[in-house]
C-alpha cells in the first residue's frame, strides 16, 4: 500500500491491507523543521538525522513506534503500528533529492486489523506518544496493593551467595524500614555460594534450569517463608524460564528442547515452540504449588530476540501467556515482575510491575530507565527502580541521590542492611517514609517528564487534591519547574548542586549543616 500524501498538521489513520504475506505501507515525511528522532530504545530524542533508521519490534522486545521532533520537542511526525504481538519493522531512509524521509512499515499477518497512525499534529512529542499508546487496545492487570510496596532484593548485596539466615536478618531490617516485599534473586536453586566478578561471570548460569530449591541454603523453606510473612513482607523468587544451564538436569535429559547455539555464560535457550517447553511451565507451577511464595520475578524473556527472517514472537508470546495462566492458577493475587527490556504496551497484561534495567552504582541511569518505562506503559502500573546499590565509601549526599532517583517509581534496595552505618540507615528511613506518606499520590497521580538533551531535566508528579512531587536533575530548569508548582508541593533535589528557593521548608539534609539557604543536593523541601 502506498500513501501518496498525508494531511499536514493532522492525525492520519490507515488500515493496512495484507499483501504478499504481510501488512505494509510506504509514504514520505518532509524533513522541514525536523531535527531529531526517538525510538523505544532511547530515553529522550536524539538530535541528529541518520540517513537510515530502523525499528524492529516484537511481543518480547520494543514496540513499533518512531517519532520525529524539532529542537523544541514538537512532534514532526509519529509513526506507529497497532500490531504488538508479531514482528514489525519500521524503516526510514533519507531522500536527499526530495527532502523527505521515505518510510516503509511492515508487519506479519494478523487476525485483527492492523492500523497505521501517522500523527503530524504540532504537539509535544510525549503527548503524541501518550495518545498513540492510550489508543491501543489491550488490557491491564489488576494491580495488587502490594505491588506498590517498597522492595528489598538480594541480588547486588549478595548475588549467588544467598542463604536462609542472611535473608531473614536483612528482611527483618528491611521490614523495620518499611519495605513490604522481599525478592530472593538468583542463587536459591543451586548449592554453590558465589559472587559476580570478571572471573565468575563466564559460567554464571550453568546450574539453572531445573528450578528446585537448594536444601543446603534453605533447609526448611516453607517455615522460612512463613517467618518472612510474619514480618509483614511478601516473598518472590527469581526465575528465568528460557535459561537452561549446562549442568542442569534439564540439559542432560532434554537437549532437544533447546534452540541451536553456543553456550553463553553457561546457558543455552529453551525453544518455546518445543513440546518440552511445557515442562518448564510445569516447574513454575510446581514451585508456586509446593511453596508459600507470593509470586515470581521473571527474568530474561528478551533473550530470544526478534527476527524478521525467522519470526519467534508467536511462540514467545504463547509461552508468556501460558506462564501467566500457570501463575494465576496457583496464585490469583500473585506479584509478577518483568524487566525493562520487555516493559512494553504488549506485555502489560502479564505482569503487575515492571523494573528498570540493571544499573548498579548508577542512579542517573536508574532515573533515566524508569523514565523510559513510563513512556512505554503509561500510568496505573507500578514502575520499580533497579535495586539501589552504592559503593563502599560513597558520600551521604550521593547515597541520598540514589534514593531520590528511585522515587520516580517504587523504591527497591539491595544493600547488606546488616553492614550499613547509622547515617546510611537514616537516609533510607527518611526516603522510604516519604514514599509511604505520598503513596496515594503515586497510585493515582500522573508524571510529567521534561527532557533536556539526553537526560531527564525533571519529573513532576501531580494528583488531584494532593501535593505535587517534583524531582529535579538539571538546576537550570528550576525556574520553569517552580512556575508549575504550588505552596505545599515537594521538591526533591537529584542534582549535585544546591537549589535556591525562597519561603520553603527544608525537610531533609543528607549531611548536617549543608545547603543553608537552599535545597541541598540529595535533599528535600516543601514549598
* Nearest of 293, 289, 312 to residue 301 by alpha carbon: 312
Average pLDDT over residues 478-493: 96
Write down the pLDDT at residue 516.
67
Rounded CA-CA distance 338/354 in Å is 5
Rounded CA-CA distance 134/79 in Å is 15
Check if the beta carbon of residue 186 is closer than 8 Å to that of residue 217: no
Average pLDDT over residues 515-527: 88
Average pLDDT over residues 381-390: 98
Percent of the chain with pLDDT over 90: 89
Nearest-5° Cα angle at 372, 379 to 303: 110
Q: Which residues contact 249 (CB under 8 A, 6 or more apart)?
A: 209, 210
User: Residue 321 is placed in which grid cell?
Assistant: 501467556
- Strand-pairing partners, residue 65, are 80
pLDDT range class, residue 265, cuts 50, 70, 90:
very high
373: left (phi over 0), alpha (psi -120 to 50) or beta: alpha
User: Residue 239 is placed in which grid cell?
Assistant: 526465575
Write down the pLDDT at residue 474.
96
Largest Cα–Cα distance of the chain, in whole Å? 72
Question: With helix as H, strand as E and coil as C, how does 446-504 read?
Answer: EEEEEEECCEEEEEEEECCCCCCEEEECCHHHHHHHHHCCCCCCEEEECCCCCECCCCC
Q: Which of 19-23, 175-179, 391-395, 502-506 has the lowest mean pLDDT?
A: 19-23
CA distances from residue 291 to 183, 185, 260, 295, 328 in whole angstroms, order as listed: 15, 16, 33, 10, 15
Write down the pLDDT at residue 190.
97
Rounded CA-CA distance 447/453 in Å is 19
Rounded CA-CA distance 465/456 in Å is 26
Check if the beta carbon of residue 170 is closer than 8 Å to that of residue 181: no
Average pLDDT over residues 431-456: 92
Query: Alpha helices, DSSP H only, in 59-134?
Result: 125-134
Is the pLDDT confidence value at 463 over 60? yes
Rounded CA-CA distance 507/97 in Å is 59
Write down the pLDDT at residue 427.
98
Question: How many residues in total does the chain contain?
Answer: 527
Write down the pLDDT at residue 337.
98
Q: Which residues contact 326 (CB under 8 A, 6 or more apart)?
A: 281, 284, 285, 288
Write down the pLDDT at residue 514.
63
Is the pLDDT confidence value at 296 over 80? yes
* Nearest of 78, 45, 49 to residue 64 by alpha carbon: 78
pLDDT tens per residue, range 112-167: 899 999 999 999 999 999 999 999 977 777 899 999 999 999 999 999 999 999 99
User: Residue 381 is placed in which grid cell?
Assistant: 502500573
pTM here is 0.95
* Nearest of 469, 445, 442, 459 to residue 495 by alpha carbon: 459
CA distances from residue 278 to 57, 58, 275 in whole angstroms, order as listed: 25, 22, 6
Rounded CA-CA distance 95/51 in Å is 8
Q: Which of 18-22, 130-134, 332-336, 438-442 has the lowest mean pLDDT?
A: 18-22
Map grid coordinates 504537539 to a residue: 123
pLDDT tens per residue, range 72-98: 999 999 999 999 999 999 999 999 999
* Nearest of 234, 236, 238 to residue 181 by alpha carbon: 234
* Nearest of 76, 139, 85 to residue 114 by alpha carbon: 85
Rounded CA-CA distance 168/216 in Å is 15
Helices 277-290, 313-330: inter-axial angle, 10-degree rounding: 20
pLDDT range class, residue 512, cuts 50, 70, 90:
confident
Number of neighbouring beta carbons within 10 Å of residue 419? 10
Average pLDDT over residues 224-252: 98
Rounded CA-CA distance 429/174 in Å is 10
Terminus-to-terminus CA distance in the chain, angstroms? 56
Write down the pLDDT at residue 301.
95
Is the pLDDT confidence value at 515 over 70? no
Q: Which residues contact 520 (CB under 8 A, 6 or more apart)?
A: 397, 493, 498, 506, 509, 510, 511, 514
- What are the φ/ψ torsions at residue 493 (nearest 5 degrees)? -100, 100
Helices 396-406, 363-377: inter-axial angle, 10-degree rounding: 10
Rounded CA-CA distance 388/416 in Å is 11
State the sign of the Cα–Cα–Cα–Cα dihedral 159, 160, 161, 167: positive
pLDDT tens per residue, range 319-357: 999 999 999 999 999 999 999 999 999 999 999 999 999
CA 313 to chain centre: 20
Check if the beta carbon of residue 236 is closer than 8 Å to that of residue 297: yes
CA 305 to chain centre: 18
- What are the φ/ψ torsions at residue 100 (nearest 5 degrees)? -135, 165
CA distances from residue 216 to 185, 212, 213, 352 in whole angstroms, order as listed: 16, 12, 9, 31
Long-range contacts of 259-262 (CB under 8 A, 24+ apart): 259/304
Amino acid at each position: 500500500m502506498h500513501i501518496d500524501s498525508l494531511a499536514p498538521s493532522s492525525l492520519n489513520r490507515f488500515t493496512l491491507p495484507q499483501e504478499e504475506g504481510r501488512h505494509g505501507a510506504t509514504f514520505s515525511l518532509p524533513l522541514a523543521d525536523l531535527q531529531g528522532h526517538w525510538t523505544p530504545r532511547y530515553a529522550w530524542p536524539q538530535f541528529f538525522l541518520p540517513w537510515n533508521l530502523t525499528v524492529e519490534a516484537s511481543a518480547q522486545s520494543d514496540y513499533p513506534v518512531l517519532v520525529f521532533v524539532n529542537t523544541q520537542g514538537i512532534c514532526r511526525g509519529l509513526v506507529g503500528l497497532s500490531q504488538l504481538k508479531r514482528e514489525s519493522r519500521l524503516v526510514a531512509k533519507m531522500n536527499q533529492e526530495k527532502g523527505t524521509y521515505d518510510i516503509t512499515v511492515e508487519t506479519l499477518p494478523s487476525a485483527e486489523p492492523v492500523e497505521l497512525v501517522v500523527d503530524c499534529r504540532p504537539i509535544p512529542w510525549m503527548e503524541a506518544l501518550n495518545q498513540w499508546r492510550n489508543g491501543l487496545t489491550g488490557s491491564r492487570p489488576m494491580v495488587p496493593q502490594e505491588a506498590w510496596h517498597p522492595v528489598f532484593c538480594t541480588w547486588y548485596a549478595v548475588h549467588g551467595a544467598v542463604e536462609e539466615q542472611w535473608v531473614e536478618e536483612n528482611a527483618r531490617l528491611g521490614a523495620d524500614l518499611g519495605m513490604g516485599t522481599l525478592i530472593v534473586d538468583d542463587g536459591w536453586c543451586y548449592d554453590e555460594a558465589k559472587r559476580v566478578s570478571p572471573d565468575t561471570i563466564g559460567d554464571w548460569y550453568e546450574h539453572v534450569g531445573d528450578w528446585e530449591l537448594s536444601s543446603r541454603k534453605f533447609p526448611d523453606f516453607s517455615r522460612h517463608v512463613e517467618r518472612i510473612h510474619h514480618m509483614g513482607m511478601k516473598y518472590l523468587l527469581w526465575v528465568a524460564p528460557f535459561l537452561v544451564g549446562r549442568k542442569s538436569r534439564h540439559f542432560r535429559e532434554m537437549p532437544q528442547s533447546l534452540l541451536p547455539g553456543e553456550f553463553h555464560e553457561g546457558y543455552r535457550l529453551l525453544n518455546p515452540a518445543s513440546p518440552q517447553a511445557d515442562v518448564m511451565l510445569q516447574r513454575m507451577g510446581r514451585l508456586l504449588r509446593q511453596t508459600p511464595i507470593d509470586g515470581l520475578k521473571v527474568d530474561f524473556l528478551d533473550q530470544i530476540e526478534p527476527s524478521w527472517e525467522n519470526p519467534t514472537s508467536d511462540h514467545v508470546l504463547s509461552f508468556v501467556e501460558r506462564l501467566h495462566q500457570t501463575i494465576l492458577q496457583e496464585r490469583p493475587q500473585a506479584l509478577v515482575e518483568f524487566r525493562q527490556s520487555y516493559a512494553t504496551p504488549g506485555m502489560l497484561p502479564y505482569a503487575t510491575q515492571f523494573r528498570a534495567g540493571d544499573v548498579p552504582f548508577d542512579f542517573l541511569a536508574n532515573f533515566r530507565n524508569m523514565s523510559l518505562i513510563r513512556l512505554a506503559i503509561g500510568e496505573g502500573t507500578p514502575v520499580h527502580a533497579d535495586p539501589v546499590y552504592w559503593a563502599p565509601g560513597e558520600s551521604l549526599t550521593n547515597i541520598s541521590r540514589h534514593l531520590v532517583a528511585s522515587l520516580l517509581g517504587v523504591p527497591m534496595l539491595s544493600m547488606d542492611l546488616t553492614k550499613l552505618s547509622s547515617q546510611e540507615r537514616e537516609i533510607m528511613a527518611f526516603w522510604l517514609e516519604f514514599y509511604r506518606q505520598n503513596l496515594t499520590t503515586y497510585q493515582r497521580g500522573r508524571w510529567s517528564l521534561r527532557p533536556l538533551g539526553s537526560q531527564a531535566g525533571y519529573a513532576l508528579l501531580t494528583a488531584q487534591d494532593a501535593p505535587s512531587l517534583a524531582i529535579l536533575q538539571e538546576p537550570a530548569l528550576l525556574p520553569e519547574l517552580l512556575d508549575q508548582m504550588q505552596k505545599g508541593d515537594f521538591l526533591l533535589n537529584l542534582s549535585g548542586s544546591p537549589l535556591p528557593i525562597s519561603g520553603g521548608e527544608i525537610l531533609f539534609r543528607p549531611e548536617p549543616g549543608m545547603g543553608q539557604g537552599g535545597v541541598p543536593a540529595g535533599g528535600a523541601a516543601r514549598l
